[in-house]
Structure formats: structure tokens, C-alpha cells
């Protein structure tokens, strides 16, 4: 398993508002990603749209149903979430779900998981949210069940939150279905990744990456793991256009939709607001990602095109620009 260039689909609010057009638009993006040099397509595991992207009531597809359908609509690209909210599913059921996706896709699933954070979804849908400590205790216990189930072993756990006793998981097409953790927590998330994961997606501002990578190395050292065996990637927001001016307009529209006013920001404030946004022509974005992300020691990039991904050719354009970075 390797995620060197992933394409995340974070948005199902497409022009025209036609519900029947949502999934065909998702398929078109996944197929463009597959043809354009991306190795993984990833969906958010949420039920409401996220703050900073749109309003809660905007369309949001359930992730694993959609990934199962994408398995039948693609041929070679890996399929994952970024990332599964642990609080939304029983861990043994989640392991079974991921293994089923792996069977359907003939070995293309990646099980990505995090502690969960979107309180509104929990409140309105009846999931227990709990404290920050609760959620990470639950994630730790979940991984003690999920990891052996994905490796052909039978977990035994009587935990505070979950239990499992000789749990079966058949069928499986491989004994190495990869586990990815995603998040920013230098102690808890990175510590769990060092213990259980094949891959860590680091969610932070690009300027924070050197410190985050130091923390990854520390957590691996604490459990006697070679840091080189824990692959890393960075989640970037991409605004790619034919001209720099067009990309700048996309960024400013995105900031306004998030409640910010780019026209009143000074240079420092604008730079801070766009620390995770890589914008410009394809060549400009590739150069920035190389310098600000890959040159820090991160292994791969996951990018979304939150403003333009639904447009025919947009994902292909991004792939042409970015695939050479990770070859």
C-alpha cells in the first residue's frame, strides 16, 4: 500500500442541485483521478457538510455505500475515507465493512480512521460524543479489535467501550489491508499511528509540518518502531486554474463562503488563512507542494479541489501537474 497522490472528494453540492446527478459526478471525478495519475480516491466520512466548506444541510453521501459503488465503477485506484469517524460504527462491524469493500474492489481498500470530532452530527443523529479523552480511549480500543481482524487474527478484548471475543472476519482477499490514521494530534493520534498504522495523514497548516514530522519520529521511537516504516501524507486544499488570477479569485470566493473577508486582510492574515490552500496554475501549485510539503520529508500528498473538482477535466488537470512530483 502506498498513498503518494490521493484525490479527496469533500463536496457534493454541485451546480444545478440535481440529486440524480450527484453520483455520476462523483464517478466522473474518480475515473479522472484514476486516469490522471492519482493512486487513491478518498471520501469524507460525514453525514453533514463541514464548517468551512458549506452549511450542514448541504448534500453529504454516506461514505462506505459510495465507496462500494465506486469499486464497481473504477478498476485500479485505491478506495478510502479521509477519515472514518470511529464513533459512528462498532469496530468489528467497521473491520467487516472495510474487508467487504476490499473483496468487492479486489484488494483496493484502505481503512482510514480517526477519533471523530463533529459534535453536531453526534447530537442530531444520536451518537455518543463524550469528552476528548473518551473519544481517544474508544479509538485505542477499536484499533485493538480492527487491526487483528484485518490481519486474519481473532481479537480478545473486554474494554471500557468495546468488547470482542474470537471475532471472525471472512471473506478477506489479503492479510495486509492497510490501516491509515488521520489527524493532527502529536501525542494521541500520532502515538496510535505508531502502534497500529501503515500510514498517517497529517492534517495541519503546511507551516506546521516540520514540527509534526518531528513528533511522528518521537512517537515511533517510543514504541521501538522505525519511523521510515510509517508512511505519511499531507491534506491540501487545491485551487488550480489556467491563470494565477483565476486561481486567486477561487481562493477569495472560498474564503468569503467560509465567512472571512479577504479584501480586508493584510498580507500576514491572508497567508495564515491560506496556509493549507495551494493555488495558482498547475505548475505553480506543483512547485509550492514540492517546496512546502514534500521537501519537509512528507511522503505523499492528498489534495481536494473543493471549488472545481466537479468540473469536467479539473481532476485530470491536477493529475497532470502533480503526478510527476511523486513518480
Convert the pLDDT of each residue in 219-252 to its tens digit: 999 999 999 999 999 999 999 999 999 999 999 9
Instruction: Look at residue 1 in the predicted model and tell me its pLDDT.
Output: 62
Q: What is the DSSP string of 229-297?
A: GSEEEEEEEEEE-SSHHHHHHHHHHHHHHTT--GGG--HHHHHHHTTTEEEESHHHHHHHHHHHTGGGT
Convert the pLDDT of each residue in 7-48 to its tens digit: 999 999 999 999 999 999 999 999 999 999 999 999 999 999
Coil, helix or strand for 11?
Answer: coil
For 266-270, what is the mean pLDDT?
94
What ranges do the domains of the chain cover?
5-240+277-325
| Separation of alpha carbons 143 and 92, rounded Å | 10
Convert the pLDDT of each residue in 270-304 to its tens digit: 999 999 999 999 999 999 999 999 999 999 999 99
Convert the pLDDT of each residue in 113-130 to its tens digit: 999 999 999 999 999 999
Instruction: Quote the CATH superfamily of domain 5-240+277-325.
Output: Luciferase-like domain (3.20.20.30)
Does the model's pTM come out above 0.75? yes
| Separation of alpha carbons 207 and 19, rounded Å | 38
Residue 313 per-residue DSSP state: T
| Separation of alpha carbons 145 and 3, rounded Å | 24
Amino acid at each position: 500500500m502506498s498513498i503518494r497522490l490521493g484525490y479527496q472528494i469533500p463536496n457534493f453540492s454541485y451546480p444545478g442541485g440535481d440529486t440524480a446527478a450527484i453520483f455520476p459526478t462523483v464517478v466522473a471525478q474518480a475515473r479522472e483521478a484514476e486516469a490522471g495519475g492519482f493512486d487513491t480516491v478518498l471520501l469524507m466520512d460525514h453525514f453533514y457538510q463541514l464548517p468551512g466548506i458549506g452549511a450542514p444541510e448541504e448534500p453529504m453521501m454516506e461514505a462506505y455505500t459510495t465507496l462500494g459503488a465506486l469499486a464497481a465503477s473504477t478498476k485500479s485506484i485505491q478506495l478510502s475515507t479521509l477519515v472514518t469517524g470511529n464513533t459512528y460504527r462498532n469496530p468489528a462491524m467497521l473491520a467487516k465493512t472495510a474487508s467487504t469493500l476490499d473483496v468487492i474492489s479486489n484488494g483496493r481498500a484502505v481503512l482510514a480512521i480517526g477519533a471523530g470530532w463533529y459534535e453536531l452530527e453526534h447530537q442530531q443523529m444520536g451518537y455518543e460524543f463524550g469528552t476528548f479523552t473518551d473519544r481517544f480511549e474508544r479509538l485505542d480500543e477499536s484499533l485493538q479489535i480492527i487491526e487483528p481482524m484485518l490481519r486474519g487474527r481473532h481479537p480478545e478484548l473486554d474494554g471500557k467501550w468495546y468488547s470482542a471475543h474470537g471475532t471472525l472476519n471472512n471473506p478477506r482477499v489479503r492479510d495486509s489491508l492497510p490501516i491509515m490514521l488521520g489527524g493532527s494530534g502529536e501525542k494521541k493520534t500520532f502515538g496510535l499511528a505508531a502502534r497500529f498504522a501503515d500510514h498517517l495523514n497529517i492534517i495541519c497548516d503546511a507551516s506546521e509540518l516540520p514540527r509534526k514530522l518531528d513528533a511522528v519520529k518521537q512517537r515511533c521511537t517510543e514504541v521501538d518502531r522505525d519511523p521510515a516504516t510509517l508512511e505519511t501524507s499531507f491534506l491540501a486544499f487545491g485551487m488550480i486554474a489556467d491563470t494565477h488570477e483565476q486561481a486567486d479569485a477561487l481562493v477569495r470566493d472560498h474564503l468569503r463562503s467560509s465567512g472571512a473577508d479577504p479584501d480586508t486582510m493584510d498580507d500576514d492574515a491572508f497567508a495564515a488563512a491560506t496556509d493549507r490552500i495551494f493555488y495558482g496554475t498547475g505548475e505553480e501549485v506543483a512547485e509550492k507542494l514540492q517546496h512546502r510539503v514534500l521537501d519537509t520529508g512528507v511522503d505523499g500528498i492528498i489534495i481536494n479541489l473543493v471549488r472545481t473538482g466537479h468540473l469536467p477535466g479539473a481532476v485530470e488537470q491536477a493529475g497532470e501537474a502533480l503526478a510527476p512530483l511523486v513518480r
